[in-house]
Chain A
Amino acid sequence: DTEVTQTPKHLVMGMTNKKSLKCEQHMGHRAMYWYKQKAKKPPELMFVYSYEKLSINESVPSRFSPECPNSSLLNLHLHALQPEDSALYLCASSTHSGSESDTQYFGPGTRLTVL
């Protein structure tokens, strides 16, 4: 199984809502990532989890709260978002155990719209 799954595919939320994005992989990868991608722009790294511990937080606002319950799951909890947070949110994973493992496998993304 070389697939990273993300749910939901689309999400529309108001600025006062609380919602969560979910990501799952069963490749035994120990590194998982959240990226944010605006239209016609490259993905921008938000968070990196390595062995279920947060290793990188790219100065992301606290209204985004990541969680890694186990090695297969990665969540992104959303609260009090702004319209400018509307974007495609991508999850990725990698083995994180050597140079050949730098390849990242991406999920299809969640298209988030904040009203």
Chain B
Amino acid sequence: SQQGEEDPQALSIQEGENATMNCSYKTSINNLQWYRQNSGRGLVHLILIRSNEREKHSGRLRVTLDTSKKSSSLLITASRAADTASYFCATVSGSARQLTFGSGTQLTVLP
């Protein structure tokens, strides 16, 4: 079942601009992850943020987590055409550490 919603559902920006995607979730979590999926392909792990962390950086990626609001955001700075993809947040919970994905944001970066 889907964990929560992401917004926007679709985002179109120019190369060089920043892209921000938001994710809301419903249950308590161990950590939250962001994945990227190029069209019709497998998912690639981008970044993981633990439930006791508020912000994390990796290259051009910045992730925030607000557990009181059950929300997270992914910021991609200085976007490139190659960043065009679907982006999913995923929460980890349960003894089997299942991933439950959000609804996803389709990002298009125009050259």
Footprint of B on A, CB under 8 Å? 4, 6, 31, 33, 40-45, 48, 50, 55-56, 88, 90, 92, 94, 96, 99-100, 102-109, 111
Contacts and interface: CB of A to CB of B under 8 A. Distances in A.
Contacts, number: 65
Contact of B45 (A48, A104, A109): A104
Contacts of B45: 103-105
A50 B96 contact: yes
Interface size classification for chain B: 20 to 34
B79 interface: no
Interface in B63-111: 88, 92, 96-104, 106
Interface of B: 1-2, 30-31, 33, 35, 40-45, 48, 50, 88, 92, 96-104, 106
Given A45-B99, A50-B96, A109 B1 contact: no
Contacts of B43: 43, 90, 92, 104, 106
B44 A106 contact: yes
A106 B38 CA distance: 12
A8 B36 CA distance: 22
A42 B101 contact: yes
A102 B96 contact: no
Given A44-B101, A102-B48, 12 more contacts: A31-B96, A31-B97, A41-B104, A42-B2, A42-B104, A56-B98, A99-B30, A99-B31, A103-B48, A104-B43, A104-B45, A108-B42
A99 B50 contact: yes
A90 B48 contact: no
Contacts of B48: 100, 102-103
A60 to B, nearest CB: 13
Given A42-B102, A99-B50, A106 B42 contact: yes
3 closest residue pairs by CB, A with B: A42-B101, A106-B42, A106-B43
A109 B98 contact: no
Contacts of B35: 106
Contacts of A45: 98-100
